[in-house]
Chain A
Amino acid sequence: MLEKKHIGPFPKAHEARPGYVREAYREGRHTMSKMLMIYPDRCTGCRNCELSCSFFHDREFRPHTARIHVASWEEEGFSVPTTCQQCEDAPCAAVCPTTAMHEDAALGRVAWDEAKCIGCRMCTLACPFGAVVYETGKRRILKCDLCGGSPECVAFCPTQALEYVDETDAVRSRQKAVAVGLKKSFEEVQR
């Protein structure tokens, strides 16, 4: 937490970046896209992700309209944050009749264009993760936009239960954990 470079004043909305990331990947050039990785085993259920999300986007604290949500089983002491997975073949984009919901290759995300949106809510029906919400009061879509490439929830997570990492690095800590387990059992067998 708090190690992210942008911490300080609110970061300015990022300009659209040249669209090289996914295309580059497809063309075989080795530029990796980043992804928001969730580690439920590290989550304490504090919901700072919801708070920072709402504060960044709306300058107020309203977990109800945060783009990330934490489901908790308090008795078992288990919590899982869920948010938009930024799908490659995104059902919300596929179902959108106006291309308001579209792939933003530059940031490896599914983006929403307010000007094109007709408020049909098809995206909310299509999303298998329940990560797209339409807010009638403000006539807008509530969906994770990765804060333009520097997610606030990640910056404010006190236990690194959320990380924004190269997609090939995302599972490295889990791979390592498996390796550690294997190492232990080998050591026991050798003993």
Chain B
Amino acid sequence: MNGWTGLILRVNLSSGSVVKEALDPAIAKKYIGARGLGSYLMFTEADPAVDPLSARNMLIFAPGPLSGTNAPSAGHFDVVTKGPLTGTIAASSSGGIFGPMLKYAGYDLLVVEGKAEKPVYLWIDDGEVAIRDAAALWGMQTAKTTEMVRAGTDEEASVACIGPAGERGALLANIMNEYGRAAGRTGVGAVMGAKNLKAVAVRGTGAVRVADADAFRKAMLNACTKIKNHPVGGGGLRAFGTDVLVNILNESGGLPTKNYRQATFATADKVGGESLSKQLLTRPRGCFSCIISCGRATRVTNPKYAGLGEGPEYETAWAFGPDCGIDDLDAVTKANYLCNEYGMDTISLGATVACAMEMFEDGIITLKETGGIPLNFGNAEAMVEMVRLTGEGEGFGKKLAMGSYRLAASYEHPEYSMTVKKQEMPAYDPRALQGIGLNYATGNRGGCHVRGYMTAVEVLGNPVKIDMLATEGKAQWVILFQNLTAALDSTGMCLFATFGLGADELAEMLSAATGVPYTTEEFMKAGERIWNMERLYNLKAGFSAKDDTLPQRLLKVPLPDGGAKGRTSGLKKMLPEYYSLRGWDASGVPGKEKLAELGL
């Protein structure tokens, strides 16, 4: 096969079996790869009712057919599993070179099943696969783990691993690769930890081939040019990172501040991308095959928070910054470094600390419980200490590690948790950006911005600018973005490639690479198919229309400030239209006709 390698690698940690099986070309065509193919395996093989942290859950590492080529920014892979934070199907995307390396080693998918008796790591050296003892690595932070695994395998190996948080089953644990890249959301790191799998190391020396080299070159050059000429994809992201959004969202009145109490933050600029570039940036970094280079190699010299590493990007800067009422960039960056080291999702942890801060200020959480640390909004030192405690699994950190929903619910105040399906929403207030609220509510892995990035049209004007405060017409946009993103994720491309590219360019590259002719319509249809399949999985896992909602605060409490002052989310107006346009019934269940149309 071209684009695809045509092989699935299955490793069962209970039995120790390693099996290589052929990828069915018809299935590959239908679900493309990465998120789509991984979700297909989950849908057809894994019981949706399974306990995410049991041996019966599957953990799939999935690059796409474009991963490993020089399609611009095609270095991504997805970790697909049932997420323990949400209980939904989860596809958590990460960059770096891990995905392409799996392809060069010869595999479209790595499927990990079962559970090892003792800590192990997986060493994939092209065709050779070994399950190795990881007792000596258990308890180590991610950078040290990466270093040690490379020392024991190959210095050029790509290592995806968990930190202490994942080992302990923290529900906001992530999987880190190449030190600074993360499959961040839905708690995928806890699944790895529950399987006693500390790391996966892979080295591939083979080739990824494309069906038509000349056509691929032409399509790829066209795509590169479009990204290069785009003001965000070809300029803003490299100069300032994604953190450039802090000031933009603040000015739009959509920057959630102090756990979504407000939507503007007076000193937001101090943690924005411009400040970051001026104060901490060493140089921009790019994932494998990336021409955008939004990655931030940074160094903090302030002795209180000294360190070096990657980050922060926008959501991180927001979560530890404005959401916690903090404007100390050094502290925010330090919190990011700690998350990378312990293997924790910055969005969920930052938002959980913000939730705890609000509960502390309202007297629900006391000094006794925080271990004497005054957890007020704006207390940067306390925030960094909370991150460390969560990573170490000590004191109040044990509660934070379960995410804000379980934290707030344990005090019988779940209304303080700014979550959808128990996952923390990212950095765009749905009372201002109405469309992103609909996207959060319908997101099939809980509160998430990268399932349908409405910010592109509601704030950034990419590809066009629409009124962010309006509810009319938003359902259609959200569906378009959700479908496009599902298809794009499945190719192995980075979402940021859409700062320049649309379905036309993606379908053209995918066709030239795989030799399977995808029209733009077929490409989008594949995205819709994947979205509906994920929906079916969630319905079988026990979710229903009542879960397609937002925190009460967003539906009932008007914004006190900013351009959207006085507004609440118009979700109730948008949701029925969304269901109807999706071809789902009033209770959010895909209709027979729609399923037949999609071949599900």
Query: Is the pair B289, A51 in contact by a Cβ cutoff of 8 Å?
Result: yes
Scan A46-60; emit 1 where CB is below 8 A from any B CB, else 0.
Answer: 111001101100111
A10 within 8 A of B: yes
Instruction: Mark the stretch among A15-23, A72-80, A167-175 that contacts chain B.
Output: A72-80
- Given A44, A48, A75, which contacts B308 in the complex, CB threshold below 8 Å? A75
For residue B126, which residue of chain A has the nearest CB?
A: A64
- Given B209, B238, B285, B310, which contacts A61 in the complex, CB threshold below 8 Å? B209
Complex alpha-carbon distance, A59 and B70, angstroms: 12
Chain A interface residue bracket vs B: 20 to 34
B284 within 8 A of A: yes
Instruction: Mark the stretch among A1-9, A82-90, A119-127 that contacts chain B.
Output: A1-9
Query: Is the pair B206, A77 in contact by a Cβ cutoff of 8 Å?
Result: no
- Given B213, B218, B297, which contacts A55 in the complex, CB threshold below 8 Å? B213
Shortest Cβ distance from residue B31 to the other chain A in the assembled complex, whole angstroms: 22
| Residues of chain B within 8 A of A91, CB atoms compared | none
Query: Is the pair B286, A156 in contact by a Cβ cutoff of 8 Å?
Result: no
| Residues of chain B within 8 A of A76, CB atoms compared | 282, 297, 308
Query: Is the pair A9, B224 in contact by a Cβ cutoff of 8 Å?
Result: no
- Given A7, A9, A64, which contacts B214 in the complex, CB threshold below 8 Å? A9
| Residues of chain B within 8 A of A59, CB atoms compared | 213
- Given A46, A51, A78, which contacts B69 in the complex, CB threshold below 8 Å? A51
| Residues of chain A within 8 A of B549, CB atoms compared | none
- Given B179, B221, B287, which contacts A75 in the complex, CB threshold below 8 Å? B179
Chain B 264-314 interface residues, beta-carbon cutoff 8 Å to A: 282-293, 295, 297-298, 308-310
Complex alpha-carbon distance, A46 and B287, angstroms: 5
Interface majority SS (helix, strand, loop, mixed), chain A: loop
Complex alpha-carbon distance, A60 and B217, angstroms: 11
A149 within 8 A of B: no
- Given B180, B213, B217, B286, which contacts A44 in the complex, CB threshold below 8 Å? B286
Shortest Cβ distance from residue B491 to the other chain A in the assembled complex, whole angstroms: 15
A62 within 8 A of B: yes
Query: Is the pair A62, B293 in contact by a Cβ cutoff of 8 Å?
Result: no
Query: Is the pair B308, A47 in contact by a Cβ cutoff of 8 Å?
Result: no
Q: A59-B213, A75-B308 are in contact. Are A46 and B293 (CB under 8 A)?
A: yes
Shortest Cβ distance from residue B100 to the other chain A in the assembled complex, whole angstroms: 8
Query: Is the pair A2, B70 in contact by a Cβ cutoff of 8 Å?
Result: no
Query: Is the pair B285, A45 in contact by a Cβ cutoff of 8 Å?
Result: yes
B175 within 8 A of A: no
Complex alpha-carbon distance, A190 and B69, angstroms: 54
| Residues of chain A within 8 A of B208, CB atoms compared | 60-62
B492 within 8 A of A: no
Query: Is the pair A44, B224 in contact by a Cβ cutoff of 8 Å?
Result: no
| Residues of chain B within 8 A of A158, CB atoms compared | 228, 286, 290-293
- Given A1, A42, A77, A159, which contacts B224 in the complex, CB threshold below 8 Å? A1
Nearest first, the 8 closest Cβ-Cβ pairs linking A and B are A77-B297, A46-B286, A44-B286, A62-B207, A51-B70, A158-B291, A64-B205, A60-B207
Residues of A within 8 A of B (CB): 1-2, 7-10, 41-42, 44-48, 51-52, 54-55, 58-64, 74-78, 156, 158-159
14 A-B pairs within 8 Å (CB atoms) are namely A1-B224, A2-B221, A2-B224, A9-B217, A10-B213, A10-B214, A42-B283, A60-B210, A63-B104, A76-B282, A77-B298, A158-B286, A158-B293, A159-B293
Residues of B within 8 A of A (CB): 68-70, 97, 104, 143, 178-180, 204-210, 213-214, 217-218, 221, 224-225, 228, 238, 282-293, 295, 297-298, 308-310
Q: A47-B289, A156-B70 are in contact. List 15 more A-B contacts (CB 8 A).
A: A1-B224, A1-B228, A9-B218, A10-B217, A48-B70, A51-B69, A51-B70, A51-B289, A55-B217, A60-B209, A61-B68, A61-B207, A61-B209, A76-B282, A159-B293
